[in-house]
Structure 1
Amino acid sequence: QHLRRENSKLRDESGRMQASVIQRMGYLLRYKEMAAYKMSALQKALDDSVPASELEKANKQYTELTVKYRDVLQRDSCLIQRTTNLEHLQGENDSLREQISSMIKELEITKEKLNTLEQAWESAGPAGVEPGMAKSDKASINNEMVSAARQITTSEMKELNERQRAEHAQKMYEHTRNSLRQVEERNAELESKFAELTKMNAEAQKTERELRDELAD
């Protein structure tokens, strides 16, 4: 009876041990499968990645290129400003030349008008005065007519000069406004390119950190 109880007890313990061993083996099998999956994923990530030294080297080169590109953008901006200034000066110079040329032509026309008026007055002087008028009176009238003609011509020249100055100022204003708009557009374009380059650099650094974290895990 006693041996029967001992035998039954041993069978129960053996069954419990067998169940425990089976449970433990199942856990180890699942752990092995999970470990194999992680190893496979890690190996794939490792195959797709580059060595840390090469990544660091590429990132360093990228940073150097970013600095050089920024310097190029700054030099480009300075060159644009200088070009704009030169274009402005060239435009002003051309406008002044046109103004001087126009004034010279107007002056020549005015001189011709004045000479024609003087010649006409001198030619018509004897027939256009009353008989018996003294020569001094004739000369006085002649001088007054010439003076009046010159005053009229001077007034016309002043009016023409003011009009040309106003036109020149308007042209310079339009030219300056167009140049300023072009500079603003170019600066906006350069800022956009620099922002895009900065974003690309940040993404590259983020990718580098993610790869390092995966390698560390």
Structure 2
Amino acid sequence: MTASSTPVKNPVPIAGVHHTARPTWKLAETVHFYRDLLGLPLVHAISARGWGPEDHADFLHFFFDSGNGSTIAFFYYIGTTPPDFVAVRDDYRYRASHTAWRVTSREDLLAAREKIEAAGIEIKYQIRHEVIESIYFDDPNGYSLEITWQVRPFGQVDLDDAARTMDAAVALENARGQTPFTKIDQVWSGKAGKLAEEFEQAKTLEEVA
């Protein structure tokens, strides 16, 4: 068993995602999109005069119910303008930060797509990748949203593969001062080497037994 696949004895006692939060400078459009078009109930709003540092702007922090006890939230900083680092970029690294909601069947995924398109929201694409099938679209702020259906539950093979993958990748990252880490092939090669070692160890144990 690899180190990263060893169960933690005392894991952090969390019970799922409560909320994700991002800033918005499009207050009316954001409320209209999530409440009126997607139909997510507006369930809570905090209004505050600054917070923490002296230069912190007054703000609204508001939450929409996104199902199963979770919410999606936004900060609206009153009287401010968006800084350059939040500008929308047509870049896969920008879109790596996104919110993904879960549905429990492909029928629900297709129904979600139909309702979203009926509301006049463009679906950017629908794709199945490994164990999930998803639709993707953007909110008025340019934030990427995903609705996903997991086609099968994770099994032991997924846990074992995830441990081997991340062990190999971490080893490569730690060795970057000696060998550049530039290609996924390096991860695959590291996994293959580890599997070969495990196979030889198991074979030796069988011969001894």
| Alignment TM-score > 0.5, same fold | no
Give the alignment's TM-score, normalised by structure 1: 0.20
Give the alignment's TM-score, normalised by structure 2: 0.20
Greater relative contact order: 1 or 2 (C-alpha under 8 angstroms, separation 6 or more)?
1
Higher helix residue share = 1
Higher strand residue share = 2
